[in-house]
Amino acid sequence: MFEDKISQLEQKTGLKFIDKNLLLQALTHRSYLNENHNWHLDHNERLEFLGDAVLELVVTDHLYKNYPNPEGEMTNWRAALVNANMLSKISSDFDLNDFVLLSRGEARDTGRARQYILANAVEAIIGAAYLDRGYEAAAKFIDKFILKELPVIIEKRLYRDSKSLFQEQAQDKVGITPTYEVLEEWGPDHARNFKVGVFLEKDLIGTGRGPSKQEAQQMAAEDALKKKGW
């Protein structure tokens, strides 16, 4: 069963692993271990940690070599390219959702938390590829699935995130810097969820939810931009 899953994912990604267990570990979410105590592999969080660093280096190297733009602009482009929203979107290019190993509870949740899990799994696959086949294999995967999104990000100015945009608009239109406050949080340690509000002084303008405070802040800012018509 798992051999078939690995083979299918290798075909979809173009990655061919020497150590198949590395790819299988990259697909193993922490929640899966809670229901499968005899599972022979660890969860994917250490691979995700490594993959995040490899991804940032490959993207930074590409930007430095191909664009003469100032550091601030390239930093914004990189952030738009490697954030959870983008990585989750990219994961659909090789149907990653069909391969991740989750607990029954996590498998039923197809909302925002699933997007975060898929984004982390993409980073874990990059980390696994780096360990198994080296920098060039990881860079080839990143170029094929992630760097291809860069021209669209630049052309459509998608690097201007909602939080930054709302702050610019609020300061320009009403002379107030927005503040953010966690209104609610719930869930186990490995799958926390947050509800965040964005305020202009004491007025609650928008709210957002997400699996991290940063994600929830972005959603709150997006909500506030819509409600203000900015």
Give the annotated binding-site residues: 48, 120, 123
Question: Residues of 143-166 as b/e, b for ≥16 C-beta within 10 angstroms?
Answer: eebbbebbeebbeeebbebbbebb
The yes-or-no answer on residue 52 being catalytic is yes
Residue of 123, 215, 222, 223 marked catalytic: 123
Q: Residue 180, exposed/middle/buried by CB under 10 A (0-12, 13-18, 19+)? A: middle
Q: How far apart are CA 76 and CA 99, in angstroms?
A: 31
Phi, psi dihedrals of residue 206, rounded to the nearest 5°: -155, 160
Binding residues for Mg(2+): 48, 120, 123
Distance CA 194, CA 181 (A): 10
Q: Which helix (H) or strand (E) is 37 found in, with range? A: none
Residue 66, C-beta contacts closer than 8 angstroms, at least 6 positions apart:
none
- Residues shown for the chain: 230
Please classify residue 38 by burial: count the beta carbons closer than 10 Å to its beta carbon, then call 0-12 exposed, 13-18 middle and 19+ buried. Answer: exposed
Give the chain's largest Cα–Cα span: 60
Q: Are 145 and 58 in contact (CB under 8 A)?
A: no
Count of Cβ atoms closer than 10 Å to residue 210 Cβ? 22
Spot the catalytic one: 52, 132, 215, 223: 52
Instruction: List, by residue number, the catalytic residues.
Output: 52, 123
